[in-house]
């Protein structure tokens, strides 16, 4: 597991346990770097994860503070150090990708911040339907920086983007931060996943990082409620 993820896990647990009082400023980055024996960049990435989760906020010139409302946040957040992609996860099954939308655009302020790029950096915008054994399985919407992940084309989209990243670009995929939530089906879900108007959808929001900590993917995967199982294993 990447060190910045290990650090973010520890700080998250400290926040939840009350180790850091919610009404006081957290230790500064220099102090945390000394405590965890890491570089400022590693600590910044660790704190970025917690900021994206809505647990902390940083005010320039004032320090880092805990967001009190995060203590009552009951969303399911999954932090994984292994991201394999659907093609690898189901490599023994027939998988077909249907490209619904594929273009290059400038990101919104929110997406640029999540991907750690400027708003002038072109990003891929991809919507794909993933079909497993001739049944619609998941509807994916993905944003990726085109300068970091070049040469994506229709051929790549019909195969595996993760295979392209690791085997063609020789980059190593690291961890991913995921949020899983229930949602109502929309028109795309109903059209491509064959959902009813009132059927619930399980949505997985994911920020994928390379092994060097750089975010390369911001995606939303929408699953039919009857074709998605979330399994969590706790080891003591």
Spell out, as residue ranges, where the chain has pLDDT lower than 70.
1, 23, 68-93, 229-236
Do 11 and 100 lie in one domain? The reply is no
Q: Is residue 236 part of a domain?
A: no
Residues for the chain: how many in total? 236
pLDDT in tens, 73-106: 544 444 444 454 565 555 556 778 899 999 999 9
Q: CA 109 → CA 106, 112, 124, 212, distances in Å?
A: 9, 5, 15, 23
Which domain CATH number covers 8? Answer: 1.10.10.10
Give the model's pLDDT for residue 82. Answer: 43
Give the model's pLDDT for residue 107. Answer: 97
CA–CA separation, 194 and 36 (whole Å) = 49
Do 44 and 155 lie in one domain? The reply is no
Number of domains in the chain: 2
Is 216 in contact with 145 (CB distance < 8 Å)? yes
Looking at the DSSP bridge assignments, the partners of residue 124 are 104, 144
* Residue range of the domain that includes 37: 3-74
Q: Is residue 234 part of a domain?
A: no
Do 95 and 68 lie in one domain? The reply is no
């Amino acid at each position: 597991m990447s060190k910045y993820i290990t650090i973010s896990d520890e700080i998250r647990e400290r926040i939840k346990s009350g180790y850091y009082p919610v009404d006081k400023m957290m230790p500064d980055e220099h102090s945390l770097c000394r405590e965890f024996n890491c570089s400022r960049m590693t600590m910044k990435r660790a704190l970025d994860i917690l900021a994206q989760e809505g647990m902390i906020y940083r005010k320039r010139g004032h320090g880092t503070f805990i967001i009190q409302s995060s203590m009552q946040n009951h969303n399911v957040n999954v932090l994984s150090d292994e991201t394999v992609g659907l093609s690898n996860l189901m490599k023994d099954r027939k998988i077909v990708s249907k490209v619904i939308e594929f273009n290059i655009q400038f990101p919104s302020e929110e997406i640029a911040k999540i991907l750690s790029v400027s708003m002038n950096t072109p990003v891929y915008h991809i919507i794909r339907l993933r079909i497993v054994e001739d049944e619609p399985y998941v509807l994916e919407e993905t944003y990726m920086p085109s300068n970091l992940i070049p040469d994506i084309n229709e051929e790549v989209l019909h195969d595996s983007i993760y295979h392209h990243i690791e085997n063609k670009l020789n980059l190593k995929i690291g961890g991913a931060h995921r949020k899983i939530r229930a949602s109502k089906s929309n028109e795309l879900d109903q059209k491509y996943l064959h959902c009813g108007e009132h059927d619930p959808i399980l949505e997985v929001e994911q920020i994928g990082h390379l092994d060097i900590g750089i975010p390369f993917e911001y995606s939303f995967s929408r699953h039919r409620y009857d074709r998605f199982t979330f399994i969590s294993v706790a080891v003591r």
